Amino acid sequence: MTVFAKQAGVLLVMTLAALSSGCSTSTTARHDNTSKEKDGAGSNVTFFQLFGKSYGIDNFERWSDGSRTLSRQGLMPTGRLNFSEAKKVCARAGGRICTLPEWRWACRTVSARETRCEKSQELLPSGMHCPGNGPGPRDMESNLLEWAVYPRTGAPVIAGVHSDCLRFRQTSRKKRAQNLGVRCCY
């Protein structure tokens, strides 16, 4: 059996289990822990249920200047993050790097609704590649590749390879690329 077939089989089992456990989605506003803005605007987080466990995921890729981090539509997402830097960005936001199943589930759920996705190699502000129809994460299949982790081992992976929710690749924690950023889970 090929690696792709094994991955597809795992996703099928994951999808069936999630559907049978009453998978759901909801969106809420969440305040960014590091926001220093006077208006107190928060970032949007969408909540999913996977295997009976609820989790939230940023609607947009993270922007960070080293001391602050935001997930907002229209901000240019921060690339060139290695795994350690991505973990720090998520910790500053009060979250963590998403597990691969969490990232995939959110991506597949949202990509089924997105009809107007710009498939270009150019980095755009968050939410501009896939503006979407309704609430939920944006640009998961485009814009930046994103850090995720295997749930059992914590090994780093890059999610969204080749603009596909299912494709990923294992990599070094030191990997750094212009188009590699993070979206956090809670």
How close are the terminal C-alpha atoms of the chain, in Å?
34
- Four-CA torsion 108, 145, 83, 4, nearest 10 degrees: 60
Instruction: Tell which phi-psi region holds residue 14, choosing left (phi > 0), alpha (psi between -120 and 50) or beta.
Output: alpha
Report the relative pairing of strands 145-149 and 96-97 from DSSP bridges.
unpaired
pLDDT per residue rounded down to tens, the chain (186 residues) = 444 334 433 333 333 333 333 344 444 444 343 333 322 234 589 999 999 999 999 999 999 998 999 999 999 999 999 999 999 999 999 999 999 999 999 998 887 665 567 667 788 999 888 766 677 898 888 889 999 999 999 999 999 888 889 999 999 999 999 999 999 999
Q: Residue 136 carries which side chain, given as an amino acid letter?
A: G
CA distances from 19 to 12, 25, 36, 144 (A): 10, 12, 39, 28
Q: Crossing angle for the helix pair 3-20 and 100-111, nearest 10 degrees?
A: 70
d(C-alpha 41, C-alpha 128), whole Å: 20
What is the helix (H) or strand (E) element at residue 8, kind and residue range?
helix 3-20
What pLDDT shows up at residue 142?
81
**28 phi/psi in degrees, rounded to 5:** -145, 160
pTM equals 0.76
- Correct CATH for 3-185 of 3.30.160, 3.40.1760, 3.60.21, 3.90.1580: 3.90.1580
